[in-house]
Amino acid sequence: MTRRVNFRADLHIHTCLSPCADLYMTPCRIVEKASSLGLNIIAICDHNSVENAEVTKKLAKEKGINALPGMEVTSSEEAHILGIFGDIDSAKRLQDIVYENLQAVENDKKAFDYQVIVNEKDEVLGFNKRLLIGSTRLSVEKVVELIHHFGGLAIASHIDREVFGIIGQLGFIPPDLRLDALELSRNISTEEARRKFKEYSHIPWIKSSDAHYLPDIGKASTSFFMNHSTFEELCLTLKGIDGRQVILY
Amino acid sequence: MKLYEIVDTLSLEVKTASSYLTKEVTGGYVSDLLSDVMANSKEGNIWITIQTHQNIVAVAALKDLSGIILVNNRMPDPEALKNAESQGIPILVSSLPAFELVGKLYILGLRC
């Protein structure tokens, strides 16, 4: 049997593009922090946007980290679903549809913070004026369908959080919803989650930080025992193909 | 109070299960977090929400609620319509926002 390597992943990190994230969450600093922690794979998942993902991917590559482009989509029921992709073009296609379906309200900088788009030197390129914190008109079923349509992984965010977690919003996970994984937040131990969510043990679980501040990166992470640190391997590992394994911390 | 009395008085639009309007309404509960409804609503309650996902039907059935009122003219998702019809869960629609609708229900004498 092939010897699997332990790749440590934090698949839910916000940047300064998310209005609720710290302005210090710039691609440079995120990559630096991830590198210092020895993370092998990260995913940039801002609210309803991927506009800082490409630059992060580029910077991360120089440090040997695979930074996957992703997005935390808000469904019409206000459940958060992560869409994580192997390439930026697929992520942007989802973004187009998400933008079309996002509430048509401008971001109010008095109520929420700046939504900053930056370059690889952390210089400000512009501000996203959409209300990224708002919800889309897309149902959870539609969100998952779209993510799959564009070749991504659909993961229910922080299922242990009552508000914005799918179980809190919808009471239970619709049995026909084809989620690739469920994410536990850093606020719940794996043991507690095993007791609390045992009816969902047939779906793979991951743990990620949902970092909005630099010190939070890597505070929760998942180990993927697989061959390479690629998106394709990640997909195979979530399916448990050929003895690949997911281990939660 | 019977469900049909509420439907008539508040001019609610009956979307599903029109033959189940003779149900007795024991009180009301308002929430858009389905986990909260599962935890805190009581049997026979009428549930006021803006959620239109098919899971509302399952929650109403699980808790033996007398019906669901969608406010702000929200329409149930197609799956919700189908399931509510087959499970006999009345879904009613009001053009009023939740605050006003609940105020009217309270005046009618409904309590928790």
Here the ipTM equals 0.84
Query: In angstroms, rounded to a whole number, what is the distance separating the alpha carbons of residues B51 and B69?
Result: 10
Residues 6+ apart with CB under 8 A from A163: A78, A169, B33
In Å, how far are A53, B59, B112 from B40, measured between CA atoms? Answer: 41, 11, 10
Flag whether residue A177 sits within 8 Å of chain B, measured between CB atoms: no
The residues on B that touch A, with CB distances below 8 Å, are 32-38, 51-55, 58-59, 77
For residue B60, give the chain A residue with the closest CA. A171
For residue B63, give the chain A residue with the closest CA. A171
The 10s digit of each residue's pLDDT in B29-50 is 999 999 999 999 999 999 999 9
pLDDT for residue A111 is more than 80: no
Note whether B2 and B21 are within 8 A (CB).
yes
Looking at residue A105, what is its pLDDT?
76
For residue B40, give the chain A residue with the closest CA. A171
- The percent of residues in chain B predicted with pLDDT above 70, rounded, is 100
The 10s digit of each residue's pLDDT in B84-104 is 999 999 999 999 999 999 999
Mutate to test the interface with B, among A75, A76, A77 (most CBs of B within 10 A): A77
The 10s digit of each residue's pLDDT in A138-179 is 999 999 999 999 999 999 999 999 899 999 999 999 999 999
A9 φ, ψ (degrees, to nearest 5): -130, 140
DSSP string, A187-212: TS-HHHHHHHTGGGTTS-EEE---BS
Å from A171 to nearest chain B CA?
4
The amino acid sitting at B64 is D
For residue B39, give the chain A residue with the closest CA. A171
**Residue A131 pLDDT level (bands cut at 50, 70, 90):** confident
Helix (H, G, I), strand (E, B) or coil at B61: helix
Q: Which DSSP category does B23 fall into?
A: P
Flag whether residue A145 sits within 8 Å of chain B, measured between CB atoms: no
Flag whether residue A235 sits within 8 Å of chain B, measured between CB atoms: no
∠ Cα B67 B69 B75 (to 5°) = 120
Q: Which two tokens stand for residue A181?
A: 């994984």
Average pLDDT over residues A65-87: 97
Query: In angstroms, rounded to a whole number, what is the distance separating the alpha carbons of residues A137 and A74?
Result: 9
Query: In angstroms, rounded to a whole number, what is the distance separating the alpha carbons of residues B47 and B39?
Result: 13
Query: In angstroms, rounded to a whole number, what is the distance separating the alpha carbons of residues B50 and A198?
Result: 29
Average pLDDT over residues A123-139: 90
Worst-scoring range by mean pLDDT, A79-88, A99-108, B54-63, B64-73?
A99-108
Looking at residue A3, what is its pLDDT?
75
pLDDT for residue A1 is more than 70: no
- The rounded mean pLDDT for chain B is 96
Average pLDDT over residues A202-208: 97
Contact B53 A170 (CB under 8 A): yes
Mutate to test the interface with B, among A169, A197, A199 (most CBs of B within 10 A): A169
Q: Select from A16, A41, A46 the least CA-distant residue to A218.
A: A41
Distance between terminal CA atoms of chain A? 25
Chain A partners within 8 Å of B36 (Cβ): 162, 168
Flag whether residue A76 sits within 8 Å of chain B, measured between CB atoms: yes
pLDDT for residue A241 is more than 80: yes
Q: Which DSSP category does A164 fall into?
A: T
Looking at residue A56, what is its pLDDT?
98
Looking at residue B26, what is its pLDDT?
96
Chain A partners within 8 Å of B58 (Cβ): 171-172
Note whether B77 and B53 are within 8 A (CB).
yes
Query: In angstroms, rounded to a whole number, what is the distance separating the alpha carbons of residues A210 and A183?
Result: 10
Q: Select from B10, B20, B88 the least CA-distant residue to B48.
A: B10
Looking at residue A121, what is its pLDDT?
92
Residue A168 has its nearest CB partner, among B33, B54, B77, at B33
